[in-house]
Amino acid sequence: MIRFRRGWRQGLPGKLDLLTARQDGQFSLAFQPIVESLNGSLCAFEALMRWHHPIRGFISPSIFIPVAESSGLIALFGEWALRDACQQAASWPWAAQVSVNISAAHVRSPGFPSTVATALAISGLAPARLELEITESVRLDASDEIVGVLDELRSFGVRVILDDFGAGWSSLDVLRRFRFDGLKIDRCLVSDLPSNPRAVAIVRAIIRLAGELGICVTAEGVEDISQLQIVRDLGCERLQGFLVGKPGPEAVAPSRHLWLISA
């Protein structure tokens, strides 16, 4: 447990703490692999923001991300993560995609596509290798402005992913009005597999719906062989979780031995 010294109200950092940490280089990215479910081949890495404080140690994203959102810094931090992720991915020895989380503030900003275009141009990363993940929990609406921003992003060749599907404010209208390239089934559903028949039914329905819409599906939070086997049997194309590989400071391709022993 992190013990916070005085100066952080109720054990939480403030806006100035986050700005100071960003200026001092305390934030970094970790990369978690995403693989094809049928053969375990590497297809992408998700870039995850990490904060290592020189005194307080590792500070969970569940602590600092809400502070960044409430203080209006989330767009600034997200743009930094986008630029850094593109820069690192451009140097990888594989042509794997890199997935970067973006906030509701980004999606609602007409200027965000220009930010993405600049990050791609500076890094030299091919647009098709960039995935932008929009969390479903932000309760996206299907307004013309949001659909317009998403359409512009896809026009670059960038992939747009609906994250945490099944755990937040599911909106079929968003799926109706915008063609996402992929969606991620939230870990809260995957964690109940295969023992909970209701979770199995929901995951099966999500995968069938996505298939009808031509959307690639990733199962998040896969932590054991039984979960791997059932989501693969249900037709899920991609897998992510501790069984596949944990987030690390370097993008490292996972071993494919799991597919040899579980096929």
What is the per-residue pLDDT for 169? 59
What does the DSSP assignment read for 38-85? TT--EEEEEEEEEEEETTTEEE-HHHHHHHHHHTT-HHHHHHHHHHHH
pLDDT at 240 over 80: yes
**Residue 80 located in a structural domain:** yes
Q: Which domain holds residue 45?
A: 23-262
Q: How confident is the model at residue 8 (pLDDT cuts 50, 70, 90)?
A: low
Asked whether the whole model's pTM tops 0.75, one would answer yes
Model confidence at 24: pLDDT above 50: yes
**How many CB atoms are closer than 10 A to CB 55?**
8
Q: Please indicate, yes or no, if residue 7 is contained in any of the structural domains.
A: no
Counted domains in the chain: 1
Mean of the pLDDT values across residues 228-255? Answer: 94
Instruction: State the angle between helix axes of 112-123 and 144-155 in degrees (0 to 180), rounded to the nearest 10.
Output: 20
Residue 255 per-residue DSSP state: P
Portion of the chain with pLDDT greater than 90, in percent: 57
- Select the more confidently predicted residue: 260 or 36: 36
What mean pLDDT is predicted for residues 106-129? 93
Residue 3: band (very low, low, confident or very high) from pLDDT cuts 50, 70, 90: very low
Tens digit of each residue's pLDDT (9 = 90 or more) over 57-83: 888 888 888 888 888 888 889 899 999
CATH number of the domain at 178, please: 3.20.20.450
Residue 31 lies in a domain: yes
Q: Does residue 3 lie in a domain region? A: no
DSSP 8-state code for residue 94: S
In total, the chain counts a number of residues equal to 263
170: confidence class by pLDDT, cuts 50, 70, 90: low
Identify the band that residue 156 occupies on the pLDDT scale cut at 50, 70 and 90: very high
**Is pLDDT at 106 greater than 90 in this prediction?**
no
Whether 2 is in a domain gets the answer: no
Average pLDDT, the chain: 88
Position 10 in a domain? no
If pLDDT is split at 50, 70 and 90, which confidence band does 179 have? confident
